[in-house]
Amino acid sequence: MAEISIKDIRKSYGRTQILHGVDLNFKSGEFVVILGPSGCGKSTLLRMIAGLEEISSGEISIDGTVVNDLEPRDRGCSMVFQNYALYPHMSVAANIGYALKVAGVPRAERDRRIAETARIVGLEELLDRKPAQLSGGQRQRVAMGRAIIREPKVFLFDEPLSNLDAKLRVQMRVEIRRLHKRLSATSVFVTHDQVEAMTLADKLIVMNKGHVEQVGTPLEIYHRPRTRFVGSFIGSPAMNFFDSTVAPEGNFVLFDGIRVAIDPALGRDNAGKPVAAGIRPEHCRLVSAGTANSVPAIVDFVEELGSGRIVHVEIDGQNFAVAMDEGQLFEAGSSVGLQLPAEHIQLFSLETGLRLDDDVPALKRTIKTTVAA
């Protein structure tokens, strides 16, 4: 159990700066997920917490102690690596117990703790095997066992599920969550998979190009992305955007020459501003062509998901994804109308990409209704 505080952390390799001043605070026992596209600096940040990467400037403290100059072994963290990094010549038991062996824990005590850890991660039967004789999921478990046995204050996960197949990934995700519930150590989990991020996180951190874009609960981040990048990164398919200008009256934006109504409270403050308007695919509606208040669109193609479908439409050369339930059928090439409900349209500054209504109560109401639904 430990708090982690990260103050103005920067990292550069020679001239190239990887992290541009990151400030974060993780509460004790929290499950923190750092999400971002590859190359955004998320792994570097994790490795700096672990002590595997030098800190160019700034300060990291764990439980109030500044750890900048501490060796990894003195930081009380343990880490699960993407490729597991098991010791190939050691048995499962030896792999799990290696940290204790290094620490000089007596044999009997060590064996007892190996057995206990093996029970937690479900490897009791396989203790004598070598890593090469294990399946991907089992190797993953050994890596977790190796992390658990030291009873660390902090767990660090560096994309631990990305080498597993889709089904196993879902299963291990559940197991990691369960394990966290049981051990309740502060956990930091780095991933580029937004489903993993959404399902695991107590606190979700979205990073891009060495900056923290947003910190919040998964639902906050999904429903109120702070920047255009977050909106376009989270959600599958991503949020739809179109560039426009808020009408002087503040109650609509133009999209392909059609007036699309927006929340007047939001529009009033930003009248006349150039904006990027965003809306989630599940909030768009398709109606028959020519319906009032709809933007004419051509159906490009349809993705069937079984539980629903995603219809990709084209408006003036721009693609829009619309998520729909089963039932309605649309054929590729047909003309339709696209309706964008005002209460779901979010506005971002065209220059900075920042959300325009960082604290307008009207939008918060929207979140609640969506969550309830």
Partner 1 sequence: MIERTPILNAVTYFIMFLGLLLILGPFWMIFAASTQSLAQVNTVPFNFMPGADFLHNLQAAWQRANLGPALFNSFVTSVLVMTGKIVVAALSAFAIVYFRSPLRHVFFWMVFLTLMLPLEVRVIPTYNIAADVFAPVRWLIQTLTGIELSLQWNLLNSYSGLVLPLIATATGTFLYRQFYMTLPDELAEAAKMDGARPWRFFIDILLPLSRTNMLALATIMFVYAWNQYLWPKLMTTEAEYRTAMVAMRTLVPSVNSLPEWNISMAGALIIMLPPLIVVAVLQRWFVRGLVSTEK
CB nearer partner 1, residue 152 or residue 210: 152
> What's 239's DSSP letter?
P
Our CB check for partner 1 shows the closer of 130 and 209 to be 130
Q: Which is nearer to partner 1, 85 or 298 (CB)?
A: 85
Among 17, 82, 91, 291, binds partner 1 (CB under 8 A): 82
Candidate list 150, 180, 223, 283; residue touching partner 1; CB under 8 A: 150
Sole residue written with tokens 């403290």:
61
CA R_g for the chain:
24
Maximum Cα interatomic distance, the chain, rounded to a whole number of Å: 79
CA distance 237 to 72: 39
**What is the full DSSP assignment across 120-186?**
HHT-GGGTTS-GGGS-HHHHHHHHHHHHHTT--SEEEEESTTTTS-HHHHHHHHHHHHHHHHHH--E
Find the binder of partner 1 among 110, 146, 224, 226 (CB under 8 A).
146
DSSP states of 257-270:
TEEEE--HHHHHHT
Is position 259 an interface residue for partner 1 (rule: CB under 8 A)? no
* Residue 329 near partner 1 by CB under 8 A: no
Q: Which residues contact 11 (CB under 8 A, 6 or more apart)?
A: 17, 18, 19, 41, 44, 45, 48, 53, 55, 56, 210
Instruction: Select the span of 95-103, 162-170, 214-222, 322-330 touching partner 1 (CB under 8 A).
Output: 95-103
- Which parts of 152-211 interact with partner 1 (CB under 8 A)? none
Contact at 8 Å (CB) between 346 and 275? no
Using CB under 8 A, which of the segments 57-65, 94-102, 166-174, 354-362 binds partner 1?
94-102
Question: Using CB under 8 A, which of 102, 332, 354, 371 touches partner 1?
Answer: 102
Q: Minimum distance from CB of 26 to partner 1 (Å)? A: 19
Using CB under 8 A as the binding rule, whether residue 98 contacts partner 1 is answered as: yes
Judged by CB under 8 A, the residue of 49, 55, 62, 77 near partner 1 is 77
Give me the least distance between CB of 76 and partner 1, in Å please. 11
- 218 touches 240 (CB < 8 A): no
Q: Any contact of residue 330 with partner 1 (CB under 8 A)?
A: no
Q: Which residues bind partner 1 (CB under 8 A)?
A: 50-52, 71-73, 77-79, 81-83, 85-89, 98-99, 102-103, 146, 150
